[in-house]
Structure 1
């Protein structure tokens, strides 16, 4: 180790001292002694030091002057110096002291000699032996790098540097901190004993946020060079952060659920304990049910927590999720929650359709209704794409009518998509139409379609006429003719894609639109119209109609279309003749067409005739001017009579032509008539029982009904009391607006999708109640509590399913696994039907309101609307925050059936329910007929027995009026022959 300490040289100290006068007798005899006579410093750590004192005494008879002292030995290892300044002159008996310091610079034995020079004659140079050994004694420092990581400010973290002393001498280790942030660190010197392993603690106490500028230098022994230790550290504002910082659910439909993850990320390098998660509760639309807290979040770990947003009202909603964290600086971590009640929502019906068995070569259709059934404050819904998945077995046999995409639907807007099955091979077929939208939770929807095909004989189809000739039509005028397709074969004939293939520049069209397809049975036929619109410029036009049939030889039948247009002298009045609806035994009256020469010059009429039409024998000329050719002077006119026989059922169209000298092509007037085979009609009724009422409650079970359900439940006692006061024989049942199952959180056993089944479907309580039911008020209140879990309100559809087979006439619904979930026993023929819809958003059922109204009225007799009445507790034009727009469909249905609507925003629902229960159902004595009868043809039967008395026919109201009112429950049938207009 000598080389390691080469910077230290041997120090020779020359001490000049005098204890008395230097001029003394040369005969004097001074004698100098040293105590001790030698020094052994033993073992001393390199760069450490040990000192010893030597006393010099004059034991002679004369004064002695000690001049100097030095050490002869290893360079720099020893140092000697007097303890007091000189001169060092010793009189006999006096003494002085020397201090000798041993600081070894090398390892091993280091002998030396202390030399003292004096003026004694006997021993002017006194030599005193010195001995010592250098020991390499210093602490080993590890590691050379400390990383405190990332910790939250105001917290504390300690790390240690390990010190190891492998020698048998103790060492002092001294740490030094440098840098701008040294005030945030603490380190103290320590002594390491021989053979000891000890930790030098370094403590990080950050108060400022950021990366730290710090360095640590460790001196491993006294006088040793510093050992550098790299230190890295960072202080954080927060150890745990939320991802995202704000949980924004965006727009969510009312009554739907949106679940998002609020995540905690430990960005520090230390574990952090999260103790709890709570919501402020400022808006009940937000909720959470997370378990597993408290928990320890490891460094870098991310843990997610589910937050649910179920908007119970429209518009913005805010709340906070607050996490509790073990932290001195930030004990809570708030996460703002945002949402908006009301969003575009996709309603599609049907989602699946089976076309059943169809003839090969046919084309059948189903209409898929796509609706933006979100609330009125919701944004638009966009259909982005419609694509078919390939049929893995063979060529795809399904297609749809093109829709211009992207297609945007405003709130409550809808569009119908026509989906076709065109079988090209025998056997089963399947296909899926994938729709992508921007709707909430319905970005991709798959619609599944099925069908199967059977081969038949090739078609033997006759087209009449084979050429559709519009003759001459004046500029700016339009005309309509027809084409008849008749199956002359012995097997059915599929036809499809009947359309104008060439429209002559836009002048030809089919007024009813293209006919996608149909099946014509042997001997049957049907007709359709073709129109021509003459442009104001006139001209000659040619087009073509195209008909596809199942016939491999002639799969496509073309029908030429031709027309001419120019200004004419003849002016026909009327421009077309419509005989209206007629029947075989009741021909319409003949019609006339007057032709006027509007020119200033004569014209010659050479012919008047009926051209080829759908059925040539149906129209005939009655008054044909004679002679066949005659001149018509300016301003003169003539009249042509036309008769329509109405013997061929269906639509009949033919052209009436007039040849005149001013036209190259005859002037044409269309002849139109329709013949119906139906002659007699029967109107059926069931007399109501004024004391019997079947009341069905259809209750919204979506998530937004938080405020409304308690109001409904509290109004039930007044409803039951009012019914008792009227002595009404009641059947009462409850179903929900839910059609499709949602989740196990829904009560009643149907997962929120009762689909018309009475609640509770699992029969945990009685489902069909009467006033005789024990504790009926409480049970009905319990049945009203249908839960708040469904997504789409389909009140009308739920009603129709509830009162339709197989539910209405079976104790068990054979389509479901739940036992005894049918609705048998509720609907009584003799009872009036009252349906009460309760919801805070409008109905989203697939069909039109009129369809459901007519269906319900037919259940009780088509002409007895008062026996099927709809009431509603629904949104009205008076809006409130808890209602989703206006219930226009419910209001429309109530108006059509004579019912009423109460605003769902009202604080008390009892008034309407009292009115329902006390509604007076008067006995029906007047039965209106759907059509006017021939006099004397009215036949009345009551319960199957003809009744000739006790009633009269009132022509003014077209009703049968009973003087003896049929008893409740009576079946009244009124049959009559439809009147002929010519009678």
Structure 2
């Protein structure tokens, strides 16, 4: 709407310039005149404006001052101002101008009066009539919504709104864009004459990809309120896309071909022209048919072109087709082509399976093997889908078969295979049939059908007994694990099906099933089975709970839960061994009792209040043969031993906890007891021959007063041992301790007063205590370390070794029970190294426990019945004796014999040849393999690396060992089969 400058009103008197300021005669008066008849602004659009000047002239005879001017009329429609700043003093004939503006706020006549005040005495006020009419004149805007659709970025699209002026006056239309993306839109204002209709163009030219946040506000006249126009728009990265972007033809025999379609999809809302199709020509195996180009892809349209792959060679092939598109941003759309010359071959077994008659509620599995059995250059095979369908007239939702989850797609290279389980899990009586449809990319056909049948029988509800009702692991030290068991027995008179035997709650990962989950079992009346449950304590310890679940065919109680509980913290009592495995036994030939030793590894005494066997799979299978009376107090470093028997009367796996209650713990210390009773009389012991490349050697030297003659010989012989060890080139750890447990006198060297109690010598750290092949002057340092003095009273070599290789010494840099700093043995014992213990003394061992207890302790450090992993040697008295020896070393001899080692006479004048022989034996492959059970000697057979060996070995009944005349090669697998005989 345009505004006009209006009327210039001139007074009828003579013309003078400006508003003059002259003296006014006292006897005269000024007179002010204005436009006679008033001012008529005529028709003005509502909210538009029109202005006119009114000239005030002094027609009197004296000067006059114009004070002010105002308009009396409708509020907001009229406004008056002087055109020049005052003072407005008019000399006779002088004039001033007023600017009057008419801005109608509504329709119709809007009369008003211009009032001017002056200092004229006769006529101080003059009035001028003002006329004007407001006319409703504004443009109409349609539509109120613009949708630019989806266009490619870097292109543009223009839409318009129609603006109409229905009035007889000119109007001005002003568009405004608002929103975060307004910079990608443009529009310009325009003027409409009376009755005119025009299009107001709005252009969308996106640079950024994505939906746009923008709106259009159109002002239909000057001063009018905006008219809102909704705007929808989206910018695409690419208007024409390939679907899919890669055509994978899979594996195709060289003499065959496959046609796939390359598809272009116009995802925009604008037509796009495709002008050309080209093939890169990287591989002649690919081709295409007539292109039919150029063509126009309508908005949303998809077109397809045939692409052929006919392999001209074996192996992978790649190429690319490109479509030229009229687009500034993406002038081409590419499709990658892939193929493989040579087809995979699918082999599936079984293709059919009959599960037979099974109880309702059971879960029976068959393993299906799928293999890519094509040639090595035949290409991969991919399994895309596995889906069951019913074949017995029932809907697919009621199919009685299911398949274990397999991550799909699953790709098999030539020769690779995968196994998965198919389950028959009947829930209704009668025959059942189902078909498993396997979808693959094999060239011979995309689907392979596997048919399964079964028949479900109804049986009485299950009656089962679960022992124990809850599994309690008591206390297990942080970082250690333990295994207990659960037994499930069918106590009813009918079949019982149990299934989905798994952990329902693993306590945050601390509980597990070593044997894995069980899909399902059918128990006949009186049958039972046992399974292991393991607990592995985290390093931080804590209290843990979990649950083991069983599902049984008992509608009123289908889910059975066995609670699991465990406590973990550092313990004062350290058990050795930490578990007892009786191996395979027979009811008519139960194994020998085993011993468990407990040592107080803390600085303070503890009270042992009870020793008991807790609830296990079969109560009564394990028994306490010998235990100390409780309660009693165990001082720091003291130990006690418990003897436990295994009856082996109940066939199968038997597990029970051995608990010891200690005053420092809220739950008893656990030692798991494991045994298996079998009707089988045969057994196979398996050994892996090692090369002795890593060996930990511990010398245990007698430090009693009687070692006056022998100790110098030991010192002088050490260089021979060091030279032999270095000559073998082994990765060596070597340390020394004494046979002394209790402190003696300050005269004893090493800082422990003769009571090292397993600590490596010297306990005060005055010399290196753990030596290696890289220790400078190894022989010299070793000579100093075996010079342990002669001050102790009792030889307890076995007990010293047990303490040396038990917590807290073996795992700590410092023994917390002693005042000496850094006197722990940490860093000596390596999991991957063999262990050799050499006892050196002039008298037999006097440790408190049996030889069997100590031997089993050492065997558990490296693996029971693995002689190459732990061997005991002794320089000790023999039956021949000598004046300086104290009787025969029968305990040392027994330990050495049971581990494949030897006893060498302490009476020799020179120990160098003996220590050199010990070194050669310790760092060489083993030739003696002790058996785990007493055999029927006539039944022994030996295989090495799977080949029967009938010569080169003999059975030594005294040591219950198979002895080779020439040691098997390092890494050889030695298997010794025999029928067990009762001992």
**Pair in the same fold by TM > 0.5:** no
TM-score (norm 2): 0.37
Question: Which structure has the higher relative contact order (CA within 8 Å, separation 6+)?
Answer: 1
TM-score (norm 1): 0.37
Larger Rg: 1
